[in-house]
Amino acid sequence: MLYGYNGKKDDKEEYRVVCRGQSPYYIAENNLREQAVFHARNPYHPISYWWGKIYDHGLIKGESEYYIAEHQRFPKQAIFHVKFPREPVSQWWAQIYYHGLVNGTSEYYIAQEGIEDAKQAIFSKYDKEPITPWLNRIWTVGVVNGTNQYYATTSQDGYIQVYNIKDPSFCVYEIPYETADIVLHVDEKIAVYIRGDSLLLYDTATMYEETLMQVPDNLQRMIQQSKQSNKDLYIHQTDMLINEYKQFDLVPVVIENKYFVFDLNTAQTHSFVTESAMTKYLATQKIDKDDENKNNTDIIVLY
């Protein structure tokens, strides 16, 4: 328990730390259950306003300088920079997804307007006006996660459409199949997604949908539960991991707090409790594959 002052002389108040990480910033809560950002140098005074709730994700880990504040009285959210707490970087929206800017992976973020018949758009930290039109659904991969210039949305007809952020008015390609449960990766050539019990790949060159492997039962249950509760599954950093390890036929996926690695060679899925365990496994597989490649190298002896 911490003790500080709420701005009035001799008006002492208790603060409870609710979130702490590797950075000097942490989130504390007062007796009114309001939350604020603190810095380790001054545990007695917050460096932000008190809000109904604060979503940091990257700030506490030291990966970002932005956080999402939820208003105490209105169902609205806005993004703030930790060094400029008076004026939000964004407008106040019904919901802001922490992927991208708040997570520390790109300058972009997704905001949602309204609750019923909600629409979503992509924004940049440099402008409070949307870059894209307001769309039914934008998947948090590609440009939002900082891996390339592309993003995916679901059309009114239920198809996945892929756009380049530099020209949001032009659809680069549309996948002419039933919509996906989760989109994991998009770029100008391929899209990787889950539908039902299958991990699928769409190739723009062949315009064909290929089944890569079956997804595990526990992930299928997560998807079904999210549909029933009308709650999106949050996908973390999938694109970067795919790009880094795709030459080894491993597709790591982090959804909510569950960690999976799809092995396309063996058609098996490995589950992990922590991110560090998954990262260690991937590093081991990379070393093993490098050693295998060395052993398979032909040795030519010159006489």
Res 94 pLDDT > 50: yes
33: left (phi over 0), alpha (psi -120 to 50) or beta: left
Round to whole Å and give the CA distance between 57 and 121.
Answer: 21
Q: How confident is the model at residue 291 (pLDDT cuts 50, 70, 90)?
A: low
In the structure encoding, which two tokens stand for residue 150, read together? 């592309």
Res 224 pLDDT > 70: yes
Give the N- to C-terminal CA distance of the chain in Å, as an integer. 76
pLDDT score at 7: 46
Buried b (16+ CB within 10 A) or exposed e, 169-191: eeebbebeeeebbbbbbbbeebb
Res 290 pLDDT > 60: no
Q: What is the pLDDT of residues 238-256, one digit of tens each?
A: 665 666 666 667 888 877 6
pLDDT score at 120: 94
Question: Partners of 1 in the beta sheet?
Answer: none
Q: Where are the alpha helices (DSSP H) in 85-216?
A: none
Q: What is the pLDDT of residues 108-158, one digit of tens each?
A: 999 999 877 789 999 999 999 999 999 988 988 889 888 899 999 988 888
Res 96 pLDDT > 70: yes
Average pLDDT over residues 198-208: 92
Question: Partners of 127 in the beta sheet?
Answer: 124
pLDDT score at 65: 95
Give CA torsion, residues 124, 128, 132, 135, to 10 deg.
120
SS3 content of the chain, % helix, strand, coil (to 5): 15, 40, 45
Round to whole Å and give the CA distance between 90 and 123.
Answer: 8
What are 121-125's contacts with CB under 8 Å, separation 24+?
122/151, 122/165, 122/168, 123/90, 125/66, 125/79, 125/89, 125/101
Q: What is the pLDDT of residues 22-40, one digit of tens each?
A: 899 999 999 999 999 999 9
